[in-house]
Structure 1
């Protein structure tokens, strides 16, 4: 073997070693990349897709809170809108859009999100995904009913093209934050989507008119300097105002198909009036005048909702003493139990609950091991949460004798919170507390079938309204003379039973027969069923709202009943699940 051959072999061996080293290094880098991106782009075998942008959670919350709430859109029916997906740059701009959506009326339980297939990866021109999204604020589920119907008409699922598709992911994050119980239907369009395909999709969606909101997630001019971008975006805004979807091209917007569908659905829904509510450029947020992106916020306004539209929230038992009171006192934070739900409760025109025990420093313990009395500072939390009316007709309001009970009436009154089912005489306790909201007069009555009889109000002494079927019917009749509708709260039922008993059914139905529109039940500490009886509704038990009964899952859950009134009657009833943390904070269950 000559010297040349030996040297060649040496070089060959060195080459092989270097190749192996480079390959190993490559695998190591790829594995680290996979670790770093695992929370953004999920494995295709997973059933849940990550929205990404988890690092922006605090910034999103801050911007939503800072965005102006436009009162002029309150009670306007807005089901369709256009906004940006250019996160994080356009974060303040997108937040303004969702604040308007939150302050307006219209369905908010199901959102169809439409946007571009940025990378043109989909196998068909119109594609959907059937995977839930994990966002910084929790998981958002797919609406299977609508998706199954779309599939029956030939709309295909194509999961590959949704991974990393921010036109959908960005909107899902905001929807979860502001409408935590909403479900979604994500749809993206190829640049080749035809008008015929858009029209077909519109026909499939139209039957869901009363159930859906539609968000067109699009950005406008791209990669232009600021001056040229503004010219193009002004043209696009004019096209939207004129409902001229046919003139929109790819130079105007990244998905003409999404905007055309939004316009088509607006016409079908009777929302033929469009309004530009915001226009901006990435330069406004970055200061970079080259390679900019244009943004437009637009809404399609339909028939204005009735001026008499009213949203009511009803919650279960509120107990602010014992372990709950100790927690608030330790933290010196009397808003603590309501901090995770206060913003949500603010969305109601009126909020009602059952105050389980007195708020006072007066009185004496009557001797029960379950005697409740909350620190007078606890009133701060009830005010923070926005309670308007509280029932005091229950078996714990007298736990610290009449002195504490009477003081509670005064504490509530002096802090602007009305009470029902109690007072300084039987006449007051049995008279409806009438609240007028948006022109609708609502009479609230409250009764208890449980507790110590010494708490019953008489002609000459303070107390609460004890349940008597005949007297309740008389009270309802009197309330109807001064109210547009009557709502009755009743403290009854068996503790920890998830089904109403015959006594509850008899009493609640008799109240409907007497003319009440809605019956709200408290006391069992667990959620019971909702029943429609004749022209009225009965929620037999809302469970706990703020309580320290940590011994079971069921007692750490509750129901918030969202009731919508229109034209002085009940239009809709929506039960919303509540969970109570081990730290005694109520929140909407995801």
Structure 2
């Protein structure tokens, strides 16, 4: 009996040992696999955490946009201001210029060249060859939203220093309305300054220079009265470089070219390229009193309107009463704090100054876009438009025509 019981106990011990072995094997395997996983995955330290790339973030992009409208010379002959004279002796140019307001309505910045000095009636009004214009003309343009005015031209000194000072005082009185004039100055400090303006989140600088003043010179020591570029080309280019450093967009108005020629001359081509290389974005040309082509430079960096012609005048040849208006869109894109400026939608179209001559007197001045003309206002106007508008794209077929 004892022997049989002993055998049973031995068998029981064997079964227990076998069961323990069966349980122990998978536990050991699992532990071994876990340990192997630990070996393959290094412990993450502060050093390795720094090396782990972060998830890529979407760039922060902000976009700003503004549109610039351009018109040419306000050449206010006596016939124009006589037509604007009111019974009480004041002057009102609103009826003459009212279509310009409509044409520029969609634009944030509106530029024109004040060819004749706004010395006002106190200096005595005058016409060709030494002009002095009622300040009410400026009132009209400001009322119609024009806020950029150049005054550096060959008539800047027609009324000598006094005319410049009166004109400058007039335009300074409009600064609170957001109007900026450049090209003539009442002090050396103002001439040397480089104001930076802002529109819709875009900063810009505004400069103007002329080839001369019809042989008139500023008084000795007062060369600051008007910006002249002959002999000062490098100073002008350096001013553009400085402007390019402190603003998003550089706008420069150049009184240049060959009078009454619709072809761009070599000096214009050379200066335009130099200005573009120096950092100018928009170059606006005046002086020839007729229109000249429009052209992109430096792969679309700079747009040049070589001559906008006359906006309004009493000149008597067809080419001189057909002017050009221009428009360009400025877009500023800021990506993670880095700004990029792009100009686009550069376009131009034609305007026409209509007036009647009755018994040797001028009446009914009005500036019209060609889209509003009829053969009654300008005989054969469609053929004339086709001929003159072809000049716009003569140097660059990518320039858009129309659309104002």
Shorter chain as normaliser: what TM range?
0.5 to 0.7
Residue 501 and residue 571 in structure 1: after superposition, are their counterparts in 2 closer, same or farther (change >3 A)? same
1:145-294 aligned within 5 A = none
- Asked if the contact 2:164/2:184 (under 8 Å) is kept, the reply is no
Task: List alignment gaps of at least 5 residues for structure 1.
Answer: 1-304
RMSD over aligned Cα atoms: 2.4
Of 334, 340, 361 in structure 1, the residue corresponding to residue 99 of structure 2 is: 340
Instruction: Tell me how far 1:459 sits from its aligned partner.
Output: 6.5
Residue 433 and residue 452 in structure 1: after superposition, are their counterparts in 2 closer, same or farther (change >3 A)? farther
Residue 375 and residue 483 in structure 1: after superposition, are their counterparts in 2 closer, same or farther (change >3 A)? same
* Structure 1 counterpart of 2:325: 560
Instruction: Tell me how far 1:378 sits from its aligned partner.
Output: 2.2
Of 439, 455, 464 in structure 1, the residue corresponding to residue 226 of structure 2 is: 464
1:383-394 aligned within 5 A = 383-394=142-153
2:229 maps to 1:448: no
Structure 1 stretches of 4+ moved >6 Å: none
What is the CA deviation profile of residues 50-87 of structure 1, one whole-angstrom value per residue up to 9, with x for unaligned ones?
Answer: xxxxxxxxxxxxxxxxxxxxxxxxxxxxxxxxxxxxxx
What is the CA deviation profile of residues 80-120 of structure 1, one whole-angstrom value per residue up to 9, with x for unaligned ones?
Answer: xxxxxxxxxxxxxxxxxxxxxxxxxxxxxxxxxxxxxxxxx
* Structure 2 counterpart of 1:538: 304
Of 258, 272, 290 in structure 2, the residue corresponding to residue 508 of structure 1 is: 272
Per the alignment, in what secondary structure is the counterpart of residue 508 of structure 1? helix
TM-score (norm. length: structure 1): 0.45
In structure 1, distance between residues paired with 2:218 and 2:269: 23
What is the CA deviation profile of residues 428-480 of structure 1, one whole-angstrom value per residue up to 9, with x for unaligned ones?
Answer: 23544432111101111100002146555986565110013211111101212
Which structure ranks higher in relative contact order (CA pairs < 8 Å, sequence separation ≥ 6)?
2
In structure 1, distance between residues paired with 2:127 and 2:366: 26
Instruction: Tell me how far 1:315 sits from its aligned partner.
Output: 0.7
In structure 2, distance between residues paired with 1:308 and 1:440: 7
Per the alignment, in what secondary structure is the counterpart of residue 423 of structure 1? coil
In structure 2, distance between residues paired with 1:414 and 1:487: 22
TM-score (norm. length: structure 2): 0.65
* Structure 2 counterpart of 1:354: 113
What is the CA deviation profile of residues 173-209 of structure 1, one whole-angstrom value per residue up to 9, with x for unaligned ones?
Answer: xxxxxxxxxxxxxxxxxxxxxxxxxxxxxxxxxxxxx
Instruction: Tell me how far 1:589 sits from its aligned partner.
Output: 1.4
How many aligned positions are there?
Answer: 284
Residue 459 and residue 347 in structure 1: after superposition, are their counterparts in 2 closer, same or farther (change >3 A)? farther
* Structure 2 counterpart of 1:379: 138
What is the CA deviation profile of residues 481-537 of structure 1, one whole-angstrom value per residue up to 9, with x for unaligned ones?
Answer: 321111110001111100111111111111111111121100000000112221212
Per the alignment, in what secondary structure is the counterpart of residue 422 of structure 1? coil
Of 335, 359, 367 in structure 2, the residue corresponding to residue 586 of structure 1 is: 367
Task: List alignment gaps of at least 5 residues for structure 2.
Answer: 1-60, 333-340, 356-363, 372-404
In structure 2, distance between residues paired with 1:584 and 1:434: 37
- Asked if the contact 1:545/1:580 (under 8 Å) is kept, the reply is yes
2:89 maps to 1:323: no
